[in-house]
C-alpha cells in the first residue's frame, strides 16, 4: 500500500468529524482532500468553523486542513471514498444519493445500519460481511459501523459467542459526554448528577450486536439468536463508556474459562494489517477496580477494549465490566478502520467501476 488515496469527510465539524480529521492527519493510506459540514458553515474554511479551538487547531489538525473550504454535503465530490460523520437525521437520504453517484460511503451514522443490504462492520469481528457491498443496488457502496456503546459490547461478546454461544445479555452503561456530540448536556444539568436516559441508545444496543455477530448467507445477514436488554446512563466523564455486562451462555462456562477466552481473543483479521487496528483488540485487567474511564480509555491509542472484573453472575452465568473509548473505537476510529478494511480488500477500486 504505497500510495495515499484521497478521501472526503462529511460532517467534519461535529465531535466525530473533528476526531476523524485528527486521525486522518498523517494517515499512511488516506489523504483528507475535501470536507463538508452543514449548510450553516458551508463556505467557511474548516479552521474558521472550529475557531473556538483555534489555539489547538494547528497542532491538532495540521495547517493544511485549516484552509480547506467547507462544502455542502450534497456537492459533487472528487474522492471516491467518503467518510460520513453526519448526524443521522440528515445522513439517511444523502448517503444513499452519494452511493448512487458511485462513491463508497463509510458511515458512522445510524440511519442505514440495520438496512438488510448494508453491512454493519467491526473489522476484527465480521470482515466477511463486507461482501454485502457487492450485492448493493448502487453504483457505489455503503458500509457502516455500530453505535459507540455497541462497539465495546460486540467486541466483548464476539469471543464468548464463538466459544460458548450467547443466549441473553443484560447491559448497563455509564456513558461519557462526548458520546452526546456538541454541545451535549449542559454543565448545570450534570453537576452533582447523572442522567438515567439516553434517547435511542437502548434500542441500538438491543439489535445491532446480533447483526454484527450474525451469519452472512447469500445477500443477507441472519442475526445471531440472543437477546440484549440495556439500561443507559450519562455520567460526567469526557470520554470512555463503561459497561456492566451480564451474560447467559448456551454452553455453561466458569468465569476463569470466560476470562481466558476474552484474554486470548485474536480477532478475525488474520494476516491483514490495518493501520488503525490495535495490537490487542481486548485487554483483560487484573485489578478489581478497573477498567476506569480516565485511566484505561487510551489503551491501544483508544482502539483497545478493556475488560475487568470477570466473575460469576448469580442470575446469568458470568458478569464483567468493559470500557470502550466511545469517540475513537466507538466512532471515528471505527469508521476509519472500516475504511482501511475496504481499501485492503480493494473495494475502493471496485465500486463506482460497476
- The residues that are catalytic are 148, 241
Q: Which of residues 302-321 bind a copy of itself (CB under 8 A)?
A: 308-309, 313-316, 319, 321
Which residue among 135, 182, 252, 266 contacts a copy of itself (CB under 8 A)? 182
Beta-strand pair 227-234/141-144: unpaired
The smaller minimum CB distance to a copy of itself, of residues 73 and 209, is found at 209
**Burial grade of 89 (CB within 10 A; 0-12, 13-18, 19 or more):** exposed
How is residue 206 written as a grid cell?
438491543
Count residues contacting a copy of itself (CB under 8 A)? 63
Say if CB 122 and CB 334 are below 8 A apart.
yes
How is residue 80 written as a grid cell?
471516491
Site string for a copy of itself, 260-289 (x = CB under 8 A): -------------------------xxxxx
The smaller minimum CB distance to a copy of itself, of residues 66 and 142, is found at 66
Site string for a copy of itself, 206-235 (x = CB under 8 A): x--------------------xxx-x-x-x
Within 10 angstroms of residue 72's Cβ, the number of other Cβ atoms is 13
Whole-number Å distance between alpha carbons of 43 and 37: 9
Which residue among 38, 84, 111, 178 contacts a copy of itself (CB under 8 A)? 178
Whole-number Å distance between alpha carbons of 280 and 313: 26
Site stretch for a copy of itself (CB under 8 A), options 28-36, 75-83, 170-178, 259-267 = 170-178
Q: Which residues, listed in sequence order, are joined to residue 172 by a DSSP beta bridge? A: 231, 244
Whole-number Å distance between alpha carbons of 349 and 342: 9
| Minimum CB–partner distance for residue 189 and a copy of itself (Å) | 7
Q: What angle do CA 195, 196, 197 make, to 5 degrees?
A: 100
List residues binding a copy of itself (CB under 8 A). Answer: 52-56, 168-170, 172, 174, 177-178, 180, 182-197, 199, 206, 227-229, 231, 233, 235-238, 242, 244, 246, 285-296, 308-309, 313-316, 319, 321
Amino acid at each position: 500500500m504505497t500510495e495515499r488515496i484521497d478521501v472526503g469527510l462529511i460532517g467534519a465539524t461535529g465531535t466525530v468529524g473533528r476526531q476523524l480529521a485528527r486521525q486522518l492527519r498523517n494517515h499512511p493510506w488516506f489523504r483528507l482532500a475535501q470536507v463538508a459540514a452543514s449548510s450553516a458553515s458551508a463556505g467557511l474554511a474548516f479552521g474558521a468553523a472550529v475557531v473556538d479551538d483555534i489555539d489547538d487547531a494547528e497542532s491538532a489538525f495540521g495547517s493544511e486542513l485549516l484552509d480547506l473550504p467547507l462544502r455542502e454535503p450534497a456537492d459533487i465530490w472528487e474522492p471516491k471514498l467518503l467518510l460520513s460523520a453526519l448526524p443521522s437525521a440528515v445522513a439517511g437520504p444523502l448517503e444513499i444519493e452519494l452511493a448512487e453517484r458511485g462513491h463508497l460511503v463509510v458511515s458512522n451514522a445510524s440511519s442505514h445500519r440495520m438496512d438488510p443490504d448494508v453491512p454493519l462492520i467491526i473489522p476484527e469481528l465480521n470482515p466477511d460481511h463486507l461482501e454485502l457491498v457487492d450485492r448493493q443496488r448502487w453504483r457505489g457502496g455503503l458500509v457502516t459501523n455500530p453505535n459507540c456503546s455497541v462497539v465495546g459490547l460486540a467486541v466483548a461478546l464476539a469471543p464468548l459467542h464463538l466459544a460458548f454461544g450467547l443466549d441473553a445479555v443484560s447491559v448497563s452503561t455509564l456513558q461519557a459526554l462526548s458520546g452526546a456530540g456538541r454541545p451535549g448536556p449542559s454543565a448545570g444539568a450534570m453537576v452533582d448528577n447523572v442522567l438515567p436516559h439516553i434517547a435511542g441508545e437502548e434500542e441500538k444496543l438491543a439489535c445491532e450486536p446480533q447483526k454484527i455477530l450474525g451469519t452472512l448467507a447469500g445477500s443477507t445477514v441472519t442475526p445471531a439468536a440472543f437477546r440484549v436488554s440495556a439500561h443507559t446512563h450519562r455520567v460526567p466523564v469526557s470520554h470512555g463508556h463503561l459497561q456492566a455486562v451480564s451474560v447467559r451462555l448456551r454452553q455453561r462456562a466458569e468465569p476463569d474459562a470466560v476470562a481466558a477466552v476474552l484474554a486470548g481473543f485474536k480477532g478475525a483479521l488474520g494476516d491483514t494489517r490495518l493501520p488503525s487496528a490495535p495490537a490487542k483488540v481486548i485487554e483483560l485487567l487484573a485489578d478489581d477496580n478497573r477498567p476506569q474511564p480516565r485511566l484505561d480509555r487510551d489503551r491501544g491509542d483508544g482502539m483497545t477494549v478493556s475488560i475487568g472484573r470477570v466473575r460469576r453472575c448469580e442470575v446469568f452465568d458470568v458478569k464483567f465490566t468493559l470500557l470502550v473509548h466511545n469517540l475513537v473505537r466507538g466512532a471515528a476510529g471505527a469508521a476509519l478502520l472500516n475504511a482501511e478494511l475496504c481499501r485492503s480488500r480493494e473495494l475502493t477500486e471496485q465500486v463506482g467501476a460497476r
